[in-house]
Amino acid sequence: MDRYKVIKEVGDGTFGSVWRAINKQTGEVVAIKKMKKKYYSWEECMKLREVKSLRRMNHPNIVKLKEVIREHDILYFVMEYMDYNLYQLMKDRGKGFSEAEVRNWCYQIFQGLAYMHQRGFFHRDLKPENLLVSKTIIKIADFGLAREVSSLPPFTEYVSTRWYRAPEVLLQSSVYDSAVDMWAMGAIMAELFTLRPLFPGSSEVDEIHKICSVIGSPCQDSWAQGLQLADAMKYQFPEMGCSSLSELIPSASTDAVDLISLLCLWDPSKRPKASEVLQHRFFLPCLYVPPTLRSKSVGVPKTPPSGVKGFEGRRYSTGGALSASKPGSNVLTVKPVLSSSRTAVQRKLQLDRQDSRKSLGATENNSKQPNYRSPARKSSGNTGRSKNGSDATGKGNVPDIPSGKVVSSVTHKMSKVSLGSVGTKPIPPSPSLMKAGGWHGQSSDIPSARRYTRKAIG
């Protein structure tokens, strides 16, 4: 920690406090998270969910973990620094964000969530305070409650701030998945338009009541499993009808309201996946950037066009990755990793350049050869050209025929060639034909016009 100069505290949470600091060697501004719990071994630190998840993820909309340091049994996370969190921007505004701004924020978050879920993790604690902003870039942070999708239940009952907690978690279900992140994003998206929480419950029971007042009470068709969970808790849902989201969020468009209503469905299995949300028509005004460029671009990631399916088979492998090659040093640092996909692209470009050079070289060699050559003969004789490269008349080298006049010149020469039948004595060529390096020998020595044309043009 001697390499960092702490400036000021910028946040305090349940598990640790966050400080703004400067790297004394590079001058880079970083965020240092100091954990409140003591850690007495390096192996214990490496098993933390936040370390395990961030080590496996590298995406422009997920905050980057630069270093993990343990000194005097105190654990520090050194991360990239972001100017604000989304809650700070919301509380300082007099009115809600415009739809373009909401679309920009939400698309980036769904990009990060789609990547995270496909890597086998879900966040479980999405809220405005855990979404960090610098200029037009937003990133998901605080993976202290992140879980692997493949983890075996039961899961923790209390996972997120109450206002963004999914109903299956409120009803103490021990089995849930990445759909809890989708519910939280529906509530956050609505709050960006109105600057007011969509479900501001004061307790778990009041939270369920608030949800029912907005989307209506669940029934056997809308969420049969939820009714079973409620029966197990001896809880009965209030009988309430749904409200109009367009009236609750008057500044939102029809597409925005439709997306929020899909994200805030009772049944988690009916909520769209993050990759499916990116195809919703609410994001159609955005432009598409190929996945291979998203992790390298500095600007805001864009949306795929309608009809492009999800992220199946896509990988974000550019940038750096964390290495724990020296656990005894109590410092986990970032080592750059060369992406296999990037290597393949670079190698293909190199091969393409080599092929183009070979093709160019072959073209240059062909251009240096004379456009006209007499066919090879077995017997020796006058070919119309002397050893020093001069023609038979001694007037120097025969000039190259321009490419546009090759065919016409050949036709002119062949029209003056006398053809004899097989077995008869050939008619000797006239002296004028010798000047042009004319043909000699029998008619069988003369190549066909098709063969000659391919030779002259190629």
Say yes or no: 173 and 153 in one domain: yes
Say yes or no: 129 and 64 in one domain: no
Q: Which domain holds residue 119?
A: 85-326
Q: What is the pLDDT of residue 71?
A: 93
Say yes or no: 316 and 409 in one domain: no
- pLDDT category at 161 given cuts 50, 70, 90 is confident
Tell me the C-alpha distance between 321 and 341, whole Å. Answer: 15
Mean pLDDT calculated for residue range 35-57: 88
The overall average pLDDT reported for the chain is: 75
Check 83, 92, 125, 400 and give the catalytic one.
125
Q: How crowded is residue 322: how many other Cβ atoms within 10 Å of its Cβ?
A: 20
The residue among 201 and 158 whose pLDDT is bigger is: 201
Query: Domain boundary at 63, 78, 93, which?
Result: 78
Q: What is the pLDDT of residue 423?
A: 47
Q: What is the pLDDT of residue 205?
A: 94
Q: What is the pLDDT of residue 115?
A: 94
Greatest mean pLDDT among 36-50, 120-134, 154-168 lies in: 120-134
Among this protein's residues, is 221 annotated catalytic?
no
- pLDDT category at 318 given cuts 50, 70, 90 is very low
Tens of pLDDT, residues 397-412 = 444 545 444 445 555 5
Minimum mean pLDDT range among 6-10, 11-15, 172-176, 193-197: 11-15
Q: Which residues are annotated as a binding site?
A: 34
User: Facing residues of 38 across strands?
Assistant: 74
Say yes or no: 103 and 145 in one domain: yes
Q: Which residues are annotated as a binding site for ATP?
A: 34
Q: What residue spans of 216-312 are helical by DSSP H? A: 220-232, 245-248, 254-263, 274-277, 291-294
Say yes or no: 65 and 96 in one domain: no
Q: Is the pLDDT of residue 18 over 50?
A: yes
Q: Is the pLDDT of residue 305 over 50?
A: no
Query: Domain boundary at 78, 93, 126, which?
Result: 78
Which percentage of the chain shows pLDDT scores above 70?
A: 60
Side by side, the strands of the sheet bearing 320-323 are: 4-12, 16-23, 29-38, 74-80, 65-71, 331-336, 320-323
CA dihedral 251, 253, 255, 261 (to 10 degrees): 30
Say yes or no: 204 and 260 in one domain: yes
Q: Which amino acid is at 197?
A: P
Q: Which amino acid is at 38?
A: K
Mean pLDDT calculated for residue range 164-192: 94
Q: Is the pLDDT of residue 82 over 50?
A: yes
Tell me the C-alpha distance between 227 and 236, whole Å. Answer: 8
Q: How crowded is residue 215: how many other Cβ atoms within 10 Å of its Cβ?
A: 23
Query: What domain count does the chain have?
Result: 3
Tens of pLDDT, residues 231-272 = 999 999 999 999 999 999 999 999 999 999 999 999 999 999
Say yes or no: 90 and 74 in one domain: no
Tell me the C-alpha distance between 131 and 61, whole Å. Answer: 10
Q: Is the pLDDT of residue 16 over 70?
A: yes
Return all residues near 285 (Cβ < 8 A) that are at least 6 apart. Answer: 100, 103
Provide the whole-model pTM.
0.63
Mean pLDDT calculated for residue range 80-108: 94
Minimum mean pLDDT range among 45-49, 279-283, 296-300: 296-300
Q: Is the pLDDT of residue 346 over 70?
A: no
CATH number at residue 315: 1.10.510.10
